Structure 1
Amino acid sequence: MAFRSPFAIPRQLLVGTTSLGGRSAISSRLRCNQRGLATVVPPVTQDATGSKGPTAMVFMNMGGPSTTDEVEDFLSRLFADGDLIPLGRLQSYIGPLIARRRTSKIQKQYADIGGGSPIRKWSEYQCAEMCKLLDKISPETAPHKPYVAFRYAAPLTETMYEQLFADGFGNGKGGRAVAFTQYPQYSCSTTGSSLNELWKWRNRLEGKRANGESEPAGAIQWSVIDRWPSHSGLVEAFAQNIEAQLKTYPEEKRDQVVLLFSAHSLPMSVVNRGDPYPAEVAATVHAVMQRLKFKNPYRLCWQSQVGPSAWLGAQTSDTVQEYVKRGQTDLILVPIAFTSDHIETLYELDQEVIHEANNPGVKRAESLNGSPVFIQALADIARDHLQKGELCSRQMTLRCQGCTSERCLGQKKFFAGQEHASMVV
């Protein structure tokens, strides 16, 4: 199977993390990643236009290697993330070892989808187009400046932060920035990890703020759009792509086509800790089916399970094989937790699941990518957030029932702000 998840770890390596290097290592890494900057924007002054602008809009996502040469670095960062893959105190050693062992296989998979992931291209396009719309529908917070911060690939979070400084935000100049997660459904392994990384670099580069204390003078004022699983614009974008694919079937068969909504799975240990992701993915599916008037039978399934541990199921590949075996060969796969194409859609679904089904009735709905409906939805979500003046959702102030992470606690208290930090439990 494809590399679809960071959890493909040999059992014998699942032992023992050390923290990242010191300031010199940080500076070195920042210099090394200058060619991986987010879309360049001109410098701004904090009183340039609207009374509440300018505003930096930062899209957060996992990211992916843009070329096959970037695969090993991508995997090394991914396997070094204790929020995503807890390997214990030897993580800084084990992570690169696993990355090296998997690099050649994963390079082949990226080569098969065109030589790299398109996720950076789509993320930068979506963010830039959203900002153009925001300048029109939220002029009081304009100009809106687009940035992308990937967790494991260029442009990295720390590179994005240095670009904010270069463009006139923070570093004694103040200014506002919105961290906009591009995972519509919240998980501690995705949005949570990205926010932990943003919080870490904010403390390193602008000065650590203890809970309840005021911001250092001139620091960036952050707020977070941390989830949006059932937003009407997101639902409409998914529904239109499904309807477009349904039209490729004979009219008399369209209502019998089974819709298989597919999302990246989670280990059951994460689910049982109380992670909200499964419920929020289900909320998206239900909202989309309501928009489609429940005309088709449907199921939610989960892709990318790897390794020996128990994962959330049923698995997408198994589901497709079972339905085809039963004679139900008209199936549409819908990547319901992804906002653009990447290896999970282009390789796992297209080149593995659909190819192995070996039936022309098994198809996939288009990913959101450059959908104008989707980009308008992003602008509407951002405008509403800016107008409400909320630092984050109330949901974000509540940790998972089984969470014991002090880092998660500190990050949530920071983004909740002084007024709501006491609500974080």
Structure 2
Amino acid sequence: MLRSLSRKFLTNNRQFSVSSALNQNVKTAVLMLNMGGPQNKDQVHDYLLRIMTDRDMIQMPFQSKIGPWIAERRTPEVQKKYQEIGGGSPILKWTETQGELMCKELDKISPESAPHKHYVGFRYVNPFTENTLEQIEKDKPERLVIFSQYPQYSCATSGSSFNSIFTHYKKNKFPSDIKFSVIDRWGSHPLLIKTFADRIKEELSKFVPTKRNDVVIMFTAHSLPLKTVNRGDAYPSEIGASVELVMRELNYSNPHCLVWQSKVGLLPWLEPSTDDALKGFVKQGKKNFILVPIAFVNEHIETLHELDIEYCEELAEEIGVEEIRRAAAPNDHPLFIQALSQIVVEHLKSDRRVNPKFLMRCPKCVNSKCGHSKNWYSQVCSQ
């Protein structure tokens, strides 16, 4: 039923280059950080290998040996999934589109900081953040805004991307002529909330009126190991805050819940899982659902395959769901582009170049790199 939805968000495998948009007079650079995704199946193994050996993302015993083994073992399965959604991840395409539209809007509403130029920095696949930083330095902007594209902060995702910038400048000369600043989280921004609410309304309108008020809105986010949560990671509470604000925007029109997807491995993670929650609700007599990827700002394998194919098609048929729809990610929704633009403008106009919360470590942090990284950001964002 939703395979056509998946196809709608994919285009031909266009290749983008950070240096392709030539601009010799960049005043404000906006570096959009994200995990990234393989653009073709040949990139899958190295992508998984980088994830499984990144101790900022995952910590496990004997990681230098177990990580490569897991990557090797999972590569064929993950390659097959990418093949089923068109051959590769559309996350680069969407990020480029979002960045172009954001900067076009920024040039209009903030001429004093124009011209603006977006750059993409991925953690585990091209364009890598460290390579993008080199390109930014060549373009010589006056200001660099490091803009996390994870709306809700987690040490495993946002933290790893920010730590990679710190690691890069431990090995390379810092560009003291560029003013650095950080946008680390924005999951409660009003226009982001309105975007998600609008996406939900789009799907609710497709249910017949007699069913509409009984549709269960299931907000789904990438899960996290409980040992990470127990160290004090802010992610679950920030996800919960986003959910609450979206439901307030919807005037609490429907029953709703927060569930978690994409668990990897055998250790305990946040629950209930999205698939277990669907099974449980069907047993209780609920038969109509909307899945909302509340932590993702663009389509990628966890929306196009896990949600659309594994849950909305295969699982829904297996357990007897009557009707299930999936709210689109923000993608290029006009409200979302306004959100990105306003977040950057508000940041540029603020005297605060880094969020004090970002400079805190989790109360039970075990990663010494985080302490060094946060001290470094405190210094460079005050120069």
Show the counterpart of 1:5: none
Corresponding residue of 1:197: 164
Amino acid at match of 1:387: K
What is the aligned partner in structure 2 of residue 322 from structure 1?
A: 280
5 Å-filtered alignment, 1:130-141, equals 130-141=102-113
Distance in 2 between the 1:141 and 1:389 partners?
Answer: 15
Cα deviation, 1:323-347, whole Å, max 9, x if unaligned, reads 1222211111100000011111111
Within the candidate set 88, 113, 116, 1:116 is matched to 88
Cα offset, 1:417, TM superposition: 3.0
- Counterpart of 1:289 in structure 2 is 247
Aligned residues of 2:179 and 2:381 also touching (Cα < 8 A): no
Q: 1:137 to 1:320 in 2, by over 3 A?
A: same
Q: 1:271 — aligned with what?
A: 229
Out of 65, 70, 95, the position equivalent to 2:38 is: 65
Shift of 1:138: 1.1
Matches within 5 A, 1:120-159: 120-159=92-131
Q: Map 1:142-291; keep pairs closer than 5 Å.
A: 142-169=114-141, 175-207=142-174, 217-218=176-177, 220-291=178-249
Residue number in structure 1 paired with 2:332: 370
Which consecutive segments of 4 or more residues in structure 1 shift more than 6 A? 418-421
Aligned mates of 1:106, 1:178 — CA distance in 2: 33
Alignment-derived partner of residue 396 in structure 1? 358
Question: Could you tell me which residue of structure 2 aligns to residue 77 of structure 1?
Answer: 50
Q: Distance in 2 between matches of 1:38 and 1:288?
A: 34
Q: Residues of 2 paired with 1:374 and 1:131: CA distance?
A: 13
- Tell me what 1:28 maps to: none
The CA distance in 2 between the partners of 1:92 and 1:299, in whole Å, is: 38
Letter of the structure 2 residue corresponding to residue 187 of structure 1: S
Is residue 273–residue 400 contact of structure 1 (8 Å, CA) maintained in 2? yes
What is the alpha-carbon distance in structure 1 between the residues aligned to residue 325 and residue 232 of structure 2? 33
| Worse-matched range after superposition: 197-206 or 92-101 | 92-101
Letter of the structure 1 residue corresponding to residue 50 of structure 2: R
Could you tell me which of 18, 23, 30 is aligned with 1:38? 18
CA distance in 2, matches of 1:120, 1:250: 36
Q: Give SS of 1:189's match.
A: helix
> How many matched pairs?
365
Shift of residue 416, structure 1, vs aligned partner: 2.4
Distance change in 2, residues 1:54/1:418 (3 Å): closer
In structure 2, C-alpha distance between the alignment counterparts of 1:380 and 1:75, rounded to whole Å? 34
Distance 1:419 1:344 in 2: 34
**CA distance in 1 between partners of 2:65 and 2:114 (Å):** 45
CA distance in 2, matches of 1:189, 1:367: 21
Q: What are the ranges of 5 or more consecutive residues in structure 2 without an aligned counterpart?
A: 1-14
TM-score (norm 1): 0.82
8 A contact 2:153–2:185 mirrored in 1: yes
Consecutive unaligned residues in structure 1, runs of 5 or more: 1-34, 46-52, 170-174, 208-215
Counterpart of 2:33, as a letter, is M
5 Å matches for 1:323-402? 323-355=281-313, 356-358=315-317, 359-402=321-364
| TM, length-normalised to structure 2 | 0.91
Shift of 1:92: 4.0
Q: Percent identity?
A: 45
1:266 Cα deviation from its structure 2 partner: 0.4
Separation in 2, partners of 1:371, 1:249:
22
Inter-CA distance 36–196: structure 2 relative to 1 (3 Å threshold): farther
Matched AA of 2:362: C
Paired with 2:332 and 2:130, the residues of 1 have a C-alpha distance of: 27
Give the deviation of 1:204 after TM superposition: 2.1
Per the TM alignment, residue 252 of structure 1 is displaced from its structure 2 partner at its CA by: 2.5
Cα drift, residue 183 of structure 1 = 0.5
Deviations, residues 74-99 of structure 1 (Å, cap 9, x unaligned)? 111111211111245x5444433322
Give the Cα–Cα distance (whole angstroms) in 2 for the partners of residues 114 and 360 of structure 1. 27
Give the Cα separation in 1 of the matches to 2:68 and 2:202: 43
Q: For each residue in 1:361-397, what CA deviation from the matched residue of structure 2 results, as whole angstroms up to 9, or x when unmatched? A: 1111111111111011000000000010322212112
Correspondence for 2:369 among 407, 416, 421: 407
CA contact (8 A) 1:391 1:416 kept: no
Contact 1:60–1:182 (CA<8 Å) still a contact in 2?
yes
Aligned equivalents of 1:36, 1:86: Cα separation in 2: 32
Partner of 2:6: none
CA contact (8 A) 2:354 2:381 kept: no
Instruction: Say which SS state the counterpart of residue 86 (structure 1) adopts.
Output: coil
CA contact (8 A) 1:262 1:300 kept: yes
User: Residues of 2 paired with 1:36 and 1:381: CA distance?
Assistant: 25
